[in-house]
């Protein structure tokens, strides 16, 4: 079966799936942005996208659609070249809908089955917008802007034959009439790599070394920003560090923005919230690591005594499931994406997202009494091993799903 993966940052969510389809004997190719420098063993062709940024004053509510449909046109032209000059016709196309790349592919390959990676559907209520009144109060204008941002996502789904979402909650963000198209299977966690290691150790930014058994509190995200609760975590630290004078706080993440808006006052969220507590904490025990290589991340999750994970009602981070697989004691936000994986007192602890004193208490308790939470650590790992393991569960199911769609054996159903 000829299978084409499309993702501007390929391999992205297809890191394991594309090689698995090759292993199963399929003819696999990827189409990605020429600016993408990620390495892959998959045969890859590239498109060059050079569209100008649209004028917000001219586009108004259509700005997001304009940006993404422009990229969709670029990808469609690349697809037309593949068909017209090289005779390439895939049986299955699997693309991420987030950047408009799949919008016009049925015009080029109407005979192909099109699968959408359905990560999230923007909506004005019940998700990220309006959740944190400090930064994004829901106004009439904001509601209209948010709904308009979903235009390209809805159009992508209307053209698709099937879709895949990683979690039930993320699938639930899509309109009811689209949900029967969505299969829910998580991308998968390599539980052989993400497993407890009593010998784990990491050299910190100041040259000191921490190891399993040390009093280490971790916080990790791609970027340090409100969407992932960085402000709440930082505000909890004065009480935590006062109560635990030997605790080392290790923070991993960049200082740009992945989700939401940049600070209106300029600067970075990292510095804004560090400055807010600077005079109340022992800065020598807070270690900002920036972005780290994957082996360093793995070791941090293995040696962490307590790992804090917060998120708005939004896309769930892979890192939380990987931390669970490594046997970390997770203190998570009581928000829907986290609650799908963590039950309070069963395989982790949950704290209301905005409850700063509650966060301080939960983190202090975890640092003070690590043995008390051994059962939760083991249960957290069991949750991932039994339900989200890459090789034994998720990858075979996703590959079977792609094959079923390609063979016309998969049908939308009520869920």
Tens of pLDDT, residues 122-167: 999 999 999 999 998 888 988 999 999 999 999 999 999 999 999 9
Tens-digit pLDDT profile for residues 364-388: 999 999 999 999 999 999 999 999 9
- What pLDDT, on the 0 to 100 scale, is given for residue 367? 98
Q: Please name which of 310, 308, 316 lies closest in space to residue 168, comparing C-alpha atoms.
A: 316
pLDDT band at 9 (very low <50, low <70, confident <90, very high): very high
Distance of alpha carbon 283 from alpha carbon 290, whole angstroms: 16
Handedness of CA 286, 290, 295, 297 (dihedral sign): positive
- What pLDDT, on the 0 to 100 scale, is given for residue 181? 96
- HSE on the CB side for 389, CA within 13 Å? 13
Over the chain, what is the mean pLDDT?
96
Name 227's Cβ contacts closer than 8 Å, sequence gap at least 6.
128, 258, 259, 260, 311, 312, 314
Tens-digit pLDDT profile for residues 77-133: 999 999 999 999 999 999 999 999 999 999 999 999 999 999 999 999 999 999 999
Cα-trace Rg, the chain = 22
Give Cα separations from 318 to 190, 220, 338, 381, 384 (angstroms). Answer: 11, 11, 11, 14, 11
Q: Please name which of 57, 34, 35, 54 lies closest in space to residue 45, comparing C-alpha atoms.
A: 34
The more confidently predicted of residues 138 and 193 is 193
pLDDT band at 342 (very low <50, low <70, confident <90, very high): very high
Q: What is the mean pLDDT of residues 181-208?
A: 96
Tens-digit pLDDT profile for residues 282-300: 999 999 999 999 999 999 9
Q: What is the mean pLDDT of residues 229-257?
A: 97
Supply 333's token pair.
Answer: 């936000």
Q: Which domains are assigned to the chain?
A: 2-188+390-406 (3.40.50.2000), 201-387 (3.40.50.2000)
Question: Which strand (E) or helix (H) includes residue 124?
Answer: none
For the cut 70, the answer to whether the pLDDT of residue 414 exceeds it is no
- The answer to whether 167 and 337 have CB atoms below 8 angstroms apart is yes
For the cut 80, the answer to whether the pLDDT of residue 413 exceeds it is no
- What pLDDT, on the 0 to 100 scale, is given for residue 53? 85
DSSP annotation of 60: G
Distance of alpha carbon 176 from alpha carbon 179, whole angstroms: 5
Cβ neighbours around 412 below 10 Å, total: 14
pLDDT band at 229 (very low <50, low <70, confident <90, very high): very high
Q: The tokens 């979402």 sit on which residue?
A: 165
Residue 181 burial by Cβ neighbours in a 10 Å radius (0-12, 13-18, 19+): buried
Tens-digit pLDDT profile for residues 26-84: 999 999 999 999 999 999 999 999 988 888 888 889 999 999 999 999 999 999 999 99
pTM of the full predicted structure?
0.94
């Amino acid at each position: 079966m000829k299978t084409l993966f499309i993702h501007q940052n390929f391999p992205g969510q297809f890191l394991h799936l594309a090689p698995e389809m090759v292993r199963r004997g399929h003819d696999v190719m990827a189409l990605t942005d020429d600016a993408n420098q990620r390495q892959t063993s998959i045969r890859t062709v590239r498109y060059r996208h050079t569209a100008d940024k649209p004028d917000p004053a001219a586009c108004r509510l259509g700005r997001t659609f304009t940006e993404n449909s422009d990229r969709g046109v670029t990808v469609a032209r690349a697809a037309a070249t593949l068909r017209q000059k090289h005779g390439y016709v895939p049986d299955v196309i699997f693309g991420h809908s987030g950047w408009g790349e799949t919008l016009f592919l049925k015009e080029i390959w109407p005979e192909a089955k099109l699968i959408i990676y359905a990560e999230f559907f923007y909506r004005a209520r019940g998700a990220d917008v309006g959740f944190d009144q400090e930064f994004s109060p829901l106004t009439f204008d904001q509601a209209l802007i948010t709904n308009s941002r979903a235009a390209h996502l809805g159009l992508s789904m209307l053209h698709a034959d099937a879709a895949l979402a990683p979690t039930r909650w993320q699938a639930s963000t899509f309109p009811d009439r689209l949900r029967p198209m969505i299969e829910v299977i998580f991308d998968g966690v390599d539980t052989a790599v993400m497993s407890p290691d009593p010998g784990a150790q990491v050299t910190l930014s100041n040259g000191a070394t921490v190891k399993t058994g040390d009093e280490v509190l971790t916080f990790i995200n791609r970027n340090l920003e409100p969407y992932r609760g960085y402000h709440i975590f930082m505000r909890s630290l004065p009480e935590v560090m006062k109560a635990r004078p030997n605790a080392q706080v290790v923070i991993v993440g960049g200082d740009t923005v992945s989700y939401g808006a940049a600070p209106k006052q300029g600067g970075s969220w990292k510095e804004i919230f560090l400055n807010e507590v600077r005079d109340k904490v022992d800065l020598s025990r807070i270690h900002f690591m920036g972005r780290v290589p994957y082996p360093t991340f793995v070791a941090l999750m293995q040696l962490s005594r307590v790992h804090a994970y917060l998120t708005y009602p939004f896309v769930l981070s892979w890192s939380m499931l990987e931390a669970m697989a490594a046997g970390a004691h997770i203190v998570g936000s009581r928000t829907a994406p986290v609650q799908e994986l963590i039950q309070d007192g069963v395989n982790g602890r949950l704290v209301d997202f905005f409850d700063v004193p509650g966060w301080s208490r939960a983190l202090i308790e975890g640092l003070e009494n690590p043995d008390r939470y051994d059962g939760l650590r083991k249960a957290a790992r069991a949750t991932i091993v039994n339900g989200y393991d890459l090789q034994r569960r998720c990858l075979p199911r996703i590959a079977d799903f792609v094959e079923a769609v390609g063979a016309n054996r998969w049908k939308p159903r009520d869920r």
